[in-house]
Structure 1
Amino acid sequence: MALGPAQPAVLASPAVARVRAAGPLEPCKIFGSVYLETDPSRRGYCHGTVYVEPEEAFADVLVFKENNKLFADKAGLWADAPARDFADYVLLVVTDRSRADFSIHYTKVRSFAGCKTN
């Protein structure tokens, strides 16, 4: 049995595009470090779109901002990521509620954070 010539190893390029997860974004499962993108031209790098609701009653998720990523371990507990590359989730902030996947409202009480039950 003869061996053919060795195939060169294929190396991944250093600038590998981030692959989006299959399926719809589930806002009730978002926690950890989150980067809120405001530039619409970077929509392709985002996991989804979000609208910051001024009223708590109409928001889908109540968000409490954690100072430390280690404490952002449940739905609605978010820590601000310093850059898009360090975030668990990157969300594009839109100004039109109808163009958002879901809406959030920031709360000052940690125990209120999470998905609102319907």
Structure 2
Amino acid sequence: MQVLFTLWLALLPFLQPTPTVSAAAPSPCRIYGSVYLERDPMYKSMASHIVFVGEEEAFADMVVFRESNKLFADAPAIWYITPNKAFADHILYVTDQRHLADFTVHFTDVRAIATCRD
């Protein structure tokens, strides 16, 4: 009995299904809710995406509305910018080099204009 248990323990790592890794990153259009914008390069590895904040709406991948209440940030491109990383649903690293970014963001003052161009 003890031999069978030992054999089972030895084979257990090989019997579990291997997780599949997706080659594509999650869509930026799924980012909404509370967002923390990381600017320190030391913590870049903790971010899920690298973003570039642009001045022109025409060239942005996302036009984002900054919501002042976390409860109302419930749709794509509607973000509540949280000052604390611990309370964020998404952590994004902000770069000043456009070619390094996964996508570009432009902030708007009109909620109806907020959109994701995926």
- Asked if TM exceeds 0.5, the reply is yes
Counterparts of 1:69-84 in structure 2, within 5 Å, are: 69-84=70-85
State how many pairs are aligned. 100
5+ residue gaps, structure 1, are 5-20
TM-score between the two structures when normalised by the length of structure 2: 0.78
Determine which structure has more spread, i.e. the larger CA radius of gyration. 2
Aligned to 1:50: 51
1:25 Cα offset (Å): 3.0
Alignment of 1:1-118 (within 5 A): 23-116=24-117
Contiguous gaps of at least 5 residues in structure 2: 6-20
Aligned-partner Cα distance in 2 for 1:114–1:29: 11
- Partner secondary structure for residue 56 of structure 1: coil
TM-score (norm 1): 0.78
SS in 2 for 1:103: strand
Per-residue CA deviations over 1:54-79 (Å, capped at 9, x if unaligned) read 10000000000001111000000000
Divergent runs of 4+, >3 A: none
CA distance in 1, matches of 2:26, 2:115: 15
**Aligned-residue RMSD, C-alpha:** 1.8
More helix per residue: 1 or 2?
2
Check conservation: 1:61, 1:116, Cα contact below 8 A. yes
State the distance in 2 between where 1:75 and 1:102 align: 14
Secondary structure at the residue paired with 1:70?
Answer: helix
AA aligned opposite 1:67 = S
Deviations 1:46-101 (A, max 9, x none): 11100001100000000000011110000000001121111000000000000000
